[in-house]
Amino acid sequence: MAGVICVGREHEMHRGGGKRRDWLTRLLPYCAAVALHAVLASARAEAAGAPIVVAEAEATATERSVKAAYLYKFAGYVEWPEGAFLRPDTPLTIGVMGDEAFAAELARLVAGRSVAGRALAVRRVREGEPLTGLHILFIGRADDQLLDQASRAIAARPVLIVSEFENGLARGSTINFVVAEGRVKFAISAESAEKRSLKLSSRLLTVAQNMGAP
């Protein structure tokens, strides 16, 4: 697909030695920590004779944590057009649809943090609620119709849509998460970003281009 840039596995992101010390590399310890937590929790569950569903729940929580960390970092590598923020002190607002657990994890992660001098705010958005005042919108996979509805509602407004659906980019998102071989990856649609007047950092695009397809 033209205009689509794919990012590979987290453990490959540090290739090129110490010269490429970008945010993707700095995220590795966090990803490793949450992955280790899941492994240890799974081992404890097996030792105690707990059902396998416990391990699956831990894996889901780990995936959620990694995606939340990525989403927080994405905010620092996007430039919104003039007028996207009403005032100099308007917070950068991230909306979350279709995943209450993700909204809670993201709110915990960004509490007290800022990007480019702007405070970060997380807003839970329910189906049918207006999508005004958002700068990033994450759409969970609980209901695949939410992505289509949100994409139509936002149209060309400067909102970074992040999804986790099959064919998410073709359905209107700018960044789409996928999980392959047990690892969280993501793909970027430059065309979607341009349509919504969002300027993606050249650093993000360069790293993405070097990673190859997921």
What are the pLDDT digits (tens) for 25-63? 555 445 544 444 443 344 344 334 433 333 445 567 789
pLDDT of residue 156: 93
Domains with residue ranges and CATH for the chain: 4-211 (3.40.50)
**Mean pLDDT score, 182-194:** 87
The continuous run of DSSP H or E covering 46 comes out as helix 28-47
- Above 70 in pLDDT, residue 179? yes
Instruction: Give the Cα separation of 115 and 212 in Å (integer).
Output: 28
Instruction: Look at 174 and 11; give whichever has higher pLDDT.
Output: 174
Q: Which of 70, 128, 123 is nearest to 92 (CA)?
A: 123
- How crowded is residue 204: how many other Cβ atoms within 10 Å of its Cβ? 21
Report residue 5 as tokens: 């840039």
Are the CB atoms for 78 and 200 separated by under 8 Å? yes
Condensed to tens digits (0 to 9), the pLDDT of residues 89-98 reads: 999 999 999 9
Q: Which of 103, 32, 28, 106 is nearest to 72 (CA)?
A: 106
Report residue 170 as tokens: 């073709």
Condensed to tens digits (0 to 9), the pLDDT of residues 140-167 reads: 987 778 999 999 999 999 999 999 988 8
Instruction: Give the Cα separation of 29 and 13 in Å (integer).
Output: 12
Report residue 106 as tokens: 């993201």
Q: Which amino acid is at 79?
A: E
147 CB-contact burial (10 Å; exposed 0-12 / middle 13-18 / buried 19+)? buried
**Percentage of residues of the chain with pLDDT beyond 70:** 68
Instruction: Look at 75 and 213; give whichever has higher pLDDT.
Output: 75
